[in-house]
Every structure is written in C-alpha cells, then in structure tokens.
Amino acid sequence: MRHLGIIMDGNGRWAVSRGQERLSGHAEGAKAVARAIEAALECRLECITFYAFSTENFKRGVQETLGIFSVLAGFLENTLLPLVKEKKLRVRFIGDLKRLTPELLETLSKVNVAGLNNTGMTVVIALAYGGREEIATAFNMLLERRLINLDASPITYDEISRYLYTAGLPEPDAVVRFGGYKRLSNFLPLQSAYSEFFFTEKLWPDFQKEDLYKICAEYQKIKRNFGDIPK
C-alpha cells in the first residue's frame, strides 16, 4: 500500500458518551492522529491523508468550529511540527483554506515551511475540504486555461487530476472510515474510485496503531485487477 485515506469520525460521540464536552473528543482525536502517523511510518506508507474538517462541518456553528480550529492549531504546533522535523515528513494541507482563521493559517504556514525540503512520508490534512467543491474548482481552472488557449478538445480525467488538490500524489489504495457509518461523506470522491474500503464501528479517538497494522495486512490479501481479467 502506498496511500491510505482516513475518515476520522466519532470524536464528538466519544466525548458525549463519557459525559464530556464535545471538544474533548476532538482533542483525543488529535492524539490518535499522532499514533496513526507513527503506525503509517512503521508500515512504510508513502502517503496518509486525514479528513480533519469538511466544508459541511461549518454547519456546526461558530463556537464548535473555532474550538476545533484551536485544537488543530495546538496539534500542528506541538505534535505535528516536531514530527515533521524528526521524521522528515512532507506535509500538504488541502481544501478551501481561505475559510480558515488567520491564526490557524499562520500555523499551517509554519508547518509547511518546516517540511519544505523533506523527503519522507507525505502527511495530507484535509481542512475545509469538500470533494465536490474540489472537482468544480479543478474543472473551472482547467476551463479557464482552455478558453485562453482556444482549446475545445475533449477533457480527460488525467487533465482534471492535474488541477485537483492532490495533484502529484498517488491515489489512495484504501480508505478507512471510523465511527460506524459506511459512506465517503464527500472525501476524495474522484481519487478513491478504485480504492479498497474499510469500515469500523470504533470511534476515532479509540484508534490504536494495531488498527492500522490490521488494515495494511488485510489490504495485502486483496488482488486488485482494475477491471482486467485476473492472471
């Protein structure tokens, strides 16, 4: 496996089930991200993508949104940044980043700069991300270029993919969703067309490194033919 996508669901439910504020679940979820990065390094993945905050999550209201952004900023500053330096991680933030707060954007910039010349595993964090919006943005960018060049030839997927947030990254070999639901929720809808899907009832804050080991082991048993006849 080269690239694993993770839908981190269940932070709020985890906290509520323990009689805690929802934000404490997001704080525990951030700790789980660190464990997942360590496990991904041990499994020698090239790339791991975390679905951290969707465009739909803005519906949760200003208070919870700002609380999540605060947790994210703390995680990036105190946990991810040291890992980037120690493990030579590359980092990419994808999504409609202009919707983030200036304080969070400043932290993103700091992490980006720290990993600029690194050559290790790529950690992708999807923030203010929506797959449908990503596709529309990519198409509009491509269309603008074609209009300038008076190009009316048929558009191909390869062309569109060069304008996606994930351009240059391998498409996810597998996507795992925590939290009990079995849907993508607008996460990498184009890129995951040939991904293997794993679903678990476990809430994201309960993630342990062994969970990722098992996914990698299960993936190794799957023969992927991409529509061809098995040989």
pLDDT tens-digit readout, 160-214: 999 999 999 999 999 999 999 999 999 999 999 999 999 999 999 999 999 999 9
Q: 82-110: per-residue pLDDT in tens?
A: 999 999 999 999 999 999 999 999 999 99
Asked if 7 and 178 count as a contact pair (C-beta separation under 8 A), the reply is yes
The CATH superfamily assigned to 3-130+171-220 is: Decaprenyl diphosphate synthase-like (3.40.1180.10)
Q: Tell me whether residue 9 is one of the annotated catalytic residues.
A: yes
- pTM summary value: 0.94
Catalytic one among 9, 11, 173, 211?
9
Boundaries of every domain in the chain:
3-130+171-220
